[in-house]
Structure 1
Amino acid sequence: MSKLASTLQGEEQLSVLMARQPIFSKSQDVVAFELLFRGEEGSDLRAIKDDVATFDVVMNTYANIVADKGSKRLPCYLKITDTVLLGDSLPELPPTLFSLEILGRSDITPVFIAKVKEFSHKGYRIVLADYDPEDSRYDPLLNVIHVLKLDIQRLGLSNLPKIIHKLKPYQLDLLADKVETKDEFRQCLEMGFSLYQGYFLSRPIAVKGKKIGTSKVLLLQLLGELQRDSATGASLEGIAINDPALTYKILKVVNSAAFHVPREINSLSHAITLLGMEQIRRWILLFLTTSEDGKPNELTRSMLIRGRMCELLAELMGRESSMNYFIVGLLSQLDAMFDIEMKDLLQEVPLSHELKNALLHYSGPMGETLQDVENYERGQFDQLHGQIDRPLYEVAYRHSLKWSEQVMNALQS
C-alpha cells in the first residue's frame, strides 16, 4: 500500500457521504453551495445532527473557496424534510452560513408555514424548491421565502417569462435550476434570474474549426516532450525558455503548499532532479487547464477536484500509474475550457489510446473511476461502483477540495 493510500485510510471517516454543488451569480461567480449528503438513514439532517466531526468538515472544507481576494467561507443550502422542520431536530446552525431549502412536496399546512416563518425570523434565508406555478398551495409561502428555485427543464424555457411576471410582486431572488447549457444560461440571464445552478459550465460551446489558443500551444509541446523516453530537464527547458513567464508560474505552483517540496525549486531541471518527470507532467497539465479568458474560476476548480479525486481513488484501490487517473479526471472537462468537442480536442493532445478511450467512452479502469467521481459530484451515491469502503469516497473528495484550493491559491498569487 502506498504512503498516500495509508494516509487517506488513516484519516477520520465520517458517517455520511457529502458533496457540494456550486450556485452562481450572474457573473458566474460562486456565491453559495448546495450541500448533498447521505447517511445510513437517508438524506435528511439526522445524518449530521450532533456529529461534531461532520460539522467541522462542513465549516472548514465544504464551505470554503479561494477567490480573487483570498479564501472565504460561503453559505450552504441544506435541504430539510417536513420531519426535521416540524420536529425541532434541526441542529443549531449559524444563519449566516446556512440557508434552509424546503421542498415543494412538503405538506404546506398553516403549522408548516408558521414554522418556516419562525426560522426566517431567526435569520435563516429560506429557499423553496420544486415550485409549481399552477398550484395555489405555494402562494402563502411566497411571502415568507427569500429564494425561489425554478426547474427550467420541467417548467420549460418558453413558459418562464409568464411565470417570472407573476412572481415579480414578491421581490424574490429567482434561482434558475438545472441549467445544462451555456445557451440556457444566456436565456435565463436575459430573463432576469439572479442565481443559477446546473452543469452548464461543463458543456462546451462547440465552434467548428476552433483550435487551441497560442497561449496553450507551448504547454502541449511540453506535454508531448514528456511523452518521449528521451526527455530530459534540458530538453524541457529548451521549450519552456520561449515563455519565461510560464516557467516562473510553474515554479511558483511547484513551491506552493500543494506540493510539499522539501526545499525551494528554482528551475525545471532542478525540479526533475528532486521530484521526477511525473510531477513535472502534473504541473504542465495544471497550467493547460487554467482558465481561458472569459472562463470562470469554478471550471478550473472543478477540473482540479475531479483530477485529484480520480488519483486518490486509484491509490486507494492499489492501481498502478495513479498519475494517469489524475490526467483523465483533470482533462475530462477540457472541452468545456476550450469550447472544442472532446473527440476533436484529443487529436491535438498527446495522450495514449487508453487515456483517450477513458475520456471519450468511460472505458477501462480509468473510465470507470472517472464515472464514479462524476456520480459522487452529483450526489448520486447509490451509483458508486463500491470498490473501496464507502466512507473513503468522502475522505478522497474532502482531500481533493482542500488540494484544489491550495492550487487555486498558488495559481492566483
Structure 2
Amino acid sequence: MSMMPLMDEDQGLPVLMARQAIYTKSQDVAAYELLFRDEQGNFVMGLKDDDATLAVLVNSYASFSKATKAQVPFFLKVTDKVLLNDELPDFPRHLFVLELLPHTQVTSRLIARLETLASQGYRLALSGFDPSDTKLHPLLKVVHVLKLDIQLIGLSRIPSLVQKLKPFNLELLADKVETQEEFRQCLEMGFALYMGYFLSKPDLVRGKKLSGSKVLLMQILQELQNKHATAQSVEEIALKDPELTYKILRVVNSAAVNLRREVTSLSHAIALLGMDQVRRWVMLFLAKSDNGKPTELTRTMLVRGRMCELLAEMLEYQDPMECFIVGLLSQLDVMMDMEMEVLLNEVPLQQSVRDALLNREGQSGALLSEVEVYERGEFERLKKLLPSQFYEVAYRHSLKWSEQVLEAMQG
C-alpha cells in the first residue's frame, strides 16, 4: 500500500505522536509511553477533549493494544491544570496510566483529586522525581509508579534512594537506561520497570556466527539478487528448510500483504509478486529473533522499515524497497549481538545499502536518520522532508502493519 491512499483514508493529526516501550524485568513490554509535540516541536500542554486529540489516542493508538493478545496500557502525560479543571476524558482505566510531570504544582486540592482518581481505578505515575526537591514528596503517598531518571540522579546514588522509597510500596521505573550493563545494574537494585534505548545497543559476543537458518536465508537472498535466478532456483534453496518456507508463505498470505488468492509455494509467490517483493519477506525472517531477543525489537525493526518505505514513496524516491531494507536491517547488529560491519560481510547487500547502514549515507541513509529521530519523539530535530502530518500517518500505519506481520510470523 502506497502513501497517497493512506493519506486519503486517514488524515494526519494536529500533533506529532510516537510511543516508547516500557519493559519488565524479562524485557517484555509492560506499557507504552505516548510522546506528543505540536508541529513546531513544542510539548503539548494541557490537551483538551475538544481538540479531538485524546479521542484519537483512544481510538487509534489504543486499538493496536486491543488487537494484540497481550493488551498493555499507555502512559499519558497530563498537567495538573487538566486534572484540576476536570478536562480529562473518561478513559478506559485499564488502558491508560496518568503520568504527572516534575513541574506539577502540588496542592491539597490536587492531592484530593488524585486520591479520587485512584479510588476510581486510575493508575498514577510521577516522572522526573528529584530526591533533593521536597515539593514532590507528598505525591509519593498517592502515585503507584515512580519514574527515576538514572542519568540525572546517577547510578551510584540510586541504591540508597531505593531503600528510602521502600515504605511507599511504589513500582519503580528506571528511566534513561541506555546500555545492557545499566539494565543489569538496575535489575539488581530491584526496579520493576525499565525505559530507555538499552535494547537498541548490541551486547557484542566475540566470535559469534550466524545460525543455520540465517545462513540459509542469506543463500536465498543471494539467489534472489542473481540476475539469472528463476522462481524454481530460489525455491530449491528454500526447500532445504520446509518449515522456514511454510513460515514465509504464511506471512505472504497474511493481512499485511492483502492478496486476493492464496499463495501455495515460493515459486508461486515469485510469479505473483516478483523477486523484489519476495525478497522483502525473506528479509523479515532475517530480522526475526531466534536467540531469545524480545519481540519488541522485531516490532521496532518492522515499524522502522515500513515507515522508511512509506516516506520514500511519498518523496518519490526511485527505490522505496531499498529504504525498507535499510530501515528493517538497521538494528540487525542488536538482534544478532554482532558488529554491523562483521554482519554486512556475510549479508549479500548492494553498496548503497551498506553505506546507509554503516554511515547513514545516501538517500536511504538520510531517511533512516529522519525516522530514528521521529521514533525517539525528538520531533524538533526533524529535517521536515515532508509536511508533519505525513510523518504521523506513516508512523501510525507502520505500527498497524507491524502487528499484522508479527501475528503472521508468530502464527
Smaller-chain TM-score bracket: over 0.9
Mapping of 1:316-331 within 5 angstroms?
A: 316-331=314-329
Which of 89, 97, 113 is the aligned partner of 1:91? Answer: 89
Mapping of 1:12-411 within 5 angstroms?
A: 12-39=11-38, 42-44=42-44, 46-47=46-47, 49-52=49-52, 55-62=55-62, 64-65=64-65, 70-411=68-409
Residues of 1 paired with 2:343 and 2:58: CA distance?
37
Residues of 2 paired with 1:366 and 1:48: CA distance?
38
**1:88 to partner: Cα distance:** 2.8
Residues of 2 paired with 1:127 and 1:45: CA distance?
17
Q: Secondary structure at the match of 2:69?
A: strand
Q: Secondary structure at the match of 1:351?
A: coil
Matched letter for residue 36 of structure 2: F
**1:8 to partner: Cα distance:** 2.1
Distance change in 2, residues 1:66/1:321 (3 Å): farther
Matched letter for residue 15 of structure 1: P
Percent same amino acid among aligned pairs? 55
Deviations 1:320-352 (A, max 9, x none): 110000000000111110000112211111111
Matched letter for residue 144 of structure 1: V
Moved over 3 A (4+): 44-48, 51-54, 56-63, 70-73
Q: More deviation in 93-102 or 248-257?
A: 93-102
CA contact (8 A) 1:17 1:37 kept: yes
Q: Secondary structure at the match of 1:386?
A: coil
CA contact (8 A) 2:3 2:394 kept: no
Residues of 1 paired with 2:47 and 2:330: CA distance?
32
CA RMSD, 1 decimal: 1.9
Matched letter for residue 266 of structure 2: L
**1:405 to partner: Cα distance:** 0.3
TM-score, normalising length: structure 1: 0.94
Q: Secondary structure at the match of 2:94?
A: coil
Deviations 1:268-322 (A, max 9, x none): 1111111100111011100001112211111101100000000000011111110
Matched letter for residue 17 of structure 2: M
Q: More deviation in 165-174 or 338-347?
A: 338-347
Unaligned runs of 5+ in 1: none
Matched letter for residue 61 of structure 2: T
CA contact (8 A) 1:308 1:326 kept: yes
Residues of 1 paired with 2:330 and 2:232: CA distance?
30
**1:48 to partner: Cα distance:** 6.0
CA contact (8 A) 1:48 1:55 kept: no
Q: More deviation in 144-153 or 230-239?
A: 230-239
Matched letter for residue 23 of structure 2: F
Q: Secondary structure at the match of 1:288?
A: helix
Residues of 2 paired with 1:97 and 1:50: CA distance?
21
**1:403 to partner: Cα distance:** 0.4
Equivalent pairs, count: 409
CA contact (8 A) 1:14 1:54 kept: no
Q: More deviation in 295-304 or 181-190?
A: 181-190
CA contact (8 A) 1:64 1:72 kept: no
Q: More deviation in 46-55 or 140-149?
A: 46-55
Deviations 1:122-177 (A, max 9, x none): 32111111111122222211111100001111112222111100001111000011
Residues of 2 paired with 1:253 and 1:197: CA distance?
31
CA contact (8 A) 1:16 1:47 kept: no
**1:199 to partner: Cα distance:** 1.0
**1:40 to partner: Cα distance:** 5.3
CA contact (8 A) 1:65 1:405 kept: no
Distance change in 2, residues 1:136/1:47 (3 Å): closer
